[in-house]
Structure formats: C-alpha cells, structure tokens
C-alpha cells in the first residue's frame, strides 16, 4: 500500500472479504488511520521553537550524532490522529466490559472531580508533610475504611497493584517466618488460581505446589489437609474463587493451615462480590490484597494505574512495609524511616519510592464515602444478582460447568463444551466483537476447558445485560451448529482476526521505512 506524502493512503479496491472499499479506506464514520511514521514527517511540528541558544554540550560521546527522525505533525493533525485511534478502542464508557476477574465497572465522575482538586492533583511526594496534611488524612481514612470492611488488624497502603500486593503479603509472611527462625519453603496454590499467585510465591523464593479442585469447583479440603505439614509456609486462596464461587470451607482451610504453623494469603481481587457482606478477618485470613481499581472503581485497563493495599492480621502486622501514615498530636505523619519507629518494628522494608497511588486513594475513598456502608453492601448484592441473571439466562445454550452447584458470585463461567465444527471459545469471543462487545475473559481459569469468565458488575442495567445475553445466545447457537463463518470473525472490526500468539511472542516494536520496491506495491 502506498503512503502518499501528503498523508492519506489510497486504499486497495476491495478488502479480503471482497467488499468494495472506499477510496479513502474509511467506512462511513469508521475512520482508517495510518501510523504516525507514515503520515507525519520531520519538517512539521505543532509548536514553534525559537533558535536554540548555543550551550556547552556535556554529553560527551553520548551526544546524538544524527537527527532523531521522529515524525512530526501540526496540532490539528495530531489531535485527529489520536482521536481517530481512540475511536478504534473499546472502553467502559462505551459499553459493557464483561472481562471476568477484572471488575470493569463504571467509574463515577464524582471520583474524578475530587481527584482533580488542586490539593490532591498538584501536590508532590517530596513536599514538607505539614503542607499535605489533607492528603495524608485521605490515606489514613481510606486505611480505616479498608480495615473496617475487612475486619483485619492493619493495612499496608503502598503496593501499586494486586500482584504487587501479593508480593507485599508474601514478603510479610517470609519475614514472620524468618523472625521465628522457620525455614518453610512451600506455598500451596489452588489449580484455579490467577497466574500472579504462583508467580509471586516463586518470586519470593517459595516452592509452589498446587491443590486440586473438587468437581464443584472448590478447593479440595481433604487433599489440602493431607498435604499440610511443617514445610508449608502458607496457602494462597482466592475467595470468591476464579470459578466465580465462594469457598464455603474457608474457615476450615484457615484453621488447618494455622494448626501446622502456616499463613493464609487471600487473593482479594474478587472482593466486589462480598464487600459489606463478609469480613475476611472473620475467615482466619492473614493477608489479603484489595484491588482498589476493581472493587472501588478507579479507572484501569489502559485507563489508569492500579492500587493494591494489603490488609494484614495481627500476626503479620509488625512486618508491614514502610512508609505508613500515623496520627500524632500535631497532625498526620508519614513514617518513612525504620529508626523513627518503635524499637519493636520488624518491617520488611520499602516497596515503592513514595507512599502509593495517591490519585487512586482519593478516587477509592470518594467511592466508599459516596456509597456508604449500605451502598457498598448493595454493590455486592447487585453484582451477584447480575452475574446470576447472566448464568441462568444462558445455561440452556452455553455449557455452565458449575451451574448445578448453586448460584455463582459476581461472575459466571461457561465452557465451549457442545460447540461443533472445530469451533472454540476464541471464535465466540471474536464474534462478540462484531456485536460491539469487548470479549469476556477467555481460557481462564485453566480448570475449565475453553473457559469463558463473564463479570457484568453491578453497574450494568437490565437492558444492557439483556442485549449482551441476546448477542451471546445468538453466537452460542451458531457455535453449537458449527457455523464456520464464525472462524472469520470479527468481520466488522477495523482489523480482522489477528495472529495474537505471534503478536505476543514476536511483537514488531520498531518502525522501519518500507523499502521503495515494497512501498510501490
């Protein structure tokens, strides 16, 4: 395809499906967009710089010896380039985002408004503490809420995402074991666990062993009990688990682990289903991360950073990382140095440069305060109701492996059992794109063949759930009938089915000017 120096690329006469193409490549309001490198050039810029004053160059051999060659654009061209690209994206502000385990819910605009207040948005982590008392109070208040909601003893606020929180929890467990001179090295993780769980345990130097699941999709308590012993440092359990089910034996699991001297880590990514209803502290849990960017909104998934505070039991609290906020007689103080602490402190150290994700703290606290205790309970109830509505509306079309074992929590799981003609989960997911939806989580958890994990969240209306269900019913029926046209999906997207494995394994991250011969193709 030729790139016209003035920017636009004349399109080919017909696309792969043989449909006539337009001259511009655009299809009505679906606008094509070439790469910045193809449509920009080094002569254009959106800003006029004055002459660069001569200055002594101090870079030595590191000084650039040829032009950098970055493509430039005028301001209106740049605005259009990025706006056009953004329209090819899917976002929570456009429609239902059914990604299971991700809790992609609406982010209330109120959160954004408060996070943008200059007293929060324009401060710097190195400012004197007396000038950021309000921000420290937000951290302190949010911490108090997280402790109340979970019934735990303390909370480490600084971890920057769920996986980082897992690291915090396991480092605390490691320190607690070290403090008693205990060399345990095995961490047990259920087969259905999120990949970050075994990865974190291995990263902390533990040996990971898996615990089998029962046919009802829960941890096999007998198998767990049998494996427990003096070499087990702890277990990492997700509750509600990644099959969308509550682990009813959680207290028995915690008791059994504690009886052999181990610790219980809970992956709290699914807290949305139980917030305000169940306090993890009552289930014998020693450490649990809370994905603020899931349960307590705050944008994520390309929209913003995560935040993963970790609530800790009394046994693990002394080992929590620095820094943390305390309230003193003259206000709030960020405790940054171990020497400033009580002598008994056994903190394992510091995980981040500063105190955590301030913008996410402000959003999460806004979310909590604007919902109140009753509202948070309703979040859990409505999210569970919505997931069960999806489960029961589709179980006659899509195989639902755990539907027989009762209601699900906030996510519903289906499998590709019953699809014919060589069709699989990926074909259904791609057809969902044609229907205007982001696909659900696919092929996870691994314990379900061709898994489709759907999490609607509480912020979807019945009308939007009904539309999603109608789309899935239609595609599910086509998949069962072996409709081979599904293999071509998506057909209405700007790009067709891509080789995602190749893209993930061998991404082409560097732009090279096409050879003249190729450019004339």
Ligand X SMILES: *Cc1c(COP(=O)(O)O)cnc(C)c1O
Footprint on this chain of ligand X (rule: CB under 6 A): 101, 161-163, 194, 196, 238, 242, 267, 269, 291, 306, 308
Instruction: Give the residue nearest to ligand X (CB).
Output: 162
CB of 238 to ligand X, least distance (A): 5
Crossing angle for the helix pair 133-150 and 358-394, nearest 10 degrees? 30
CA distance 23 to 445: 45
CB of 289 to ligand X, least distance (A): 7
CB of 161 to ligand X, least distance (A): 4
Q: How far is CA 389 from CA 119, 288, 470, in A?
A: 43, 29, 13
CB of 379 to ligand X, least distance (A): 17
CB of 105 to ligand X, least distance (A): 13
CB of 369 to ligand X, least distance (A): 23
CA distance 88 to 86: 5
Closest CA to 492 of 441, 431, 428: 431
Taking the least distance from each CB to ligand X, the nearer of 198 and 276 is 198
Q: What angle do CA 218, 160, 122 make, to 5 degrees?
A: 145
Closest CA to 299 of 363, 254, 348, 250: 363
Closest CA to 286 of 256, 260, 262: 262
Taking the least distance from each CB to ligand X, the nearer of 101 and 425 is 101
Taking the least distance from each CB to ligand X, the nearer of 242 and 254 is 242
CA distance 203 to 226: 26
Taking the least distance from each CB to ligand X, the nearer of 261 and 305 is 305
CB of 499 to ligand X, least distance (A): 25
Q: List phi, psi (to 5°) of 395.
A: -65, -20
Taking the least distance from each CB to ligand X, the nearer of 194 and 410 is 194
Taking the least distance from each CB to ligand X, the nearer of 308 and 401 is 308
CB of 373 to ligand X, least distance (A): 25
The tokens describing 501, both together, are: 């494995």
Q: Within a 10 A sphere around the Cβ of 64, how many other Cβ atoms?
A: 7
User: What does the DSSP assignment read for 178-240?
Assistant: HHTT----EEEEETT--THHHHHHHHTTPEEEEE-B-TTSSB-HHHHHHH-STTEEEEEEESS
Q: Is 459 within 8 Å of 106 (Cβ atoms)?
A: yes
Taking the least distance from each CB to ligand X, the nearer of 238 and 388 is 238
Taking the least distance from each CB to ligand X, the nearer of 194 and 218 is 194
């Amino acid at each position: 395809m030729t790139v016209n120096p003035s920017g636009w690329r004349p399109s080919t006469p017909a696309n792969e499906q043989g449909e006539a193409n337009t001259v511009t490549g655009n299809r009505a309001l679906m606008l094509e967009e070439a790469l910045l490198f193809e449509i920009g050039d080094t002569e254009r810029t959106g800003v006029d710089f004055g002459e660069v004053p001569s200055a002594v160059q101090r870079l030595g051999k590191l000084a650039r010896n040829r032009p950098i060659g970055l493509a430039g654009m005028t301001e209106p061209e740049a605005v259009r380039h990025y706006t056009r690209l953004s329209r090819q994206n899917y976002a929570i502000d456009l429609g239902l985002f059914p990604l299971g385990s991700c809790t992609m819910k609406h982010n209330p605009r109120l959160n954004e408004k408060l996070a943008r207040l200059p007293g929060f948005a324009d401060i710097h982590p190195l400012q004197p503490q007396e000038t950021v008392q309000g921000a420290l109070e937000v951290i302190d208040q949010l911490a108090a809420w997280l402790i109340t909601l979970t019934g735990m003893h303390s909370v480490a606020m600084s971890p920057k995402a769920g996986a980082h929180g897992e690291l915090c929890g396991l480092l605390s467990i490691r320190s607690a074991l070290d403090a008693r001179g205990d060399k345990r090295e095995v961490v047990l993780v259920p087969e259905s666990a999120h990949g970050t769980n075994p990865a974190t345990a291995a990263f902390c130097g533990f040996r990971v062993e898996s615990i089998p699941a029962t046919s009802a999709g829960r941890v096999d308590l007998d198998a767990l009990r049998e494996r427990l012993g003096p070499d087990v440092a702890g277990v990492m359990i997700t509750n509600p688990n990644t099959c969308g089910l509550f682990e009813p034996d959680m207290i028995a699991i915690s008791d059994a682990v504690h009886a052999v001297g181990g610790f219980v880590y809970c992956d709290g990514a699914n807290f949305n289903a139980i917030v305000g209803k169940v306090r993890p502290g009552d289930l014998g849990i020693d450490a649990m991360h809370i994905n603020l960017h899931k349960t307590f909104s705050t944008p994520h998934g390309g929209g913003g950073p995560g935040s993963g505070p970790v609530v800790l039991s009394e046994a693990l609290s002394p080992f929590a990382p620095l820094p943390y906020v305390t309230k003193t007689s003259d206000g709030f103080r960020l405790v940054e140095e171990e020497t400033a602490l009580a002598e008994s402190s056994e903190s394992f150290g510091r995980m981040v440069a500063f105190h955590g994700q301030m913008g996410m703290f402000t959003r999460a606290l806004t979310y909590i305060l604007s919902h109140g205790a009753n509202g948070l309970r309703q979040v859990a109830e409505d999210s569970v109701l919505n997931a069960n509505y999806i489960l029961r509306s589709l179980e006659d079309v899509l195989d639902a492996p755990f539907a027989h074992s009762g209601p699900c929590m906030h996510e519903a799981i289906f499998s590709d059992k019953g699809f014919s003609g060589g069709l699989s989960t990926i074909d259904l997911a791609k057809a969902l794109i044609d229907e205007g939806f982001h696909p659900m989580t696919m092929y996870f958890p691994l314990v379900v063949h061709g898994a489709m994990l759907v999490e609607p969240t509480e912020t979807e209306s019945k009308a939007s759930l009904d539309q999603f269900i109608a789309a899935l019913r239609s595609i599910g029926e086509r998949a069962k009938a072996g409709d081979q046209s599904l293999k071509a999906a998506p057909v209405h997207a700007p790009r067709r089915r891509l080789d995602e494995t190749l893209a993930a394994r061998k991404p082409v991250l560097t732009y090279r000017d096409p050879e003249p011969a190729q450019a004339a193709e």
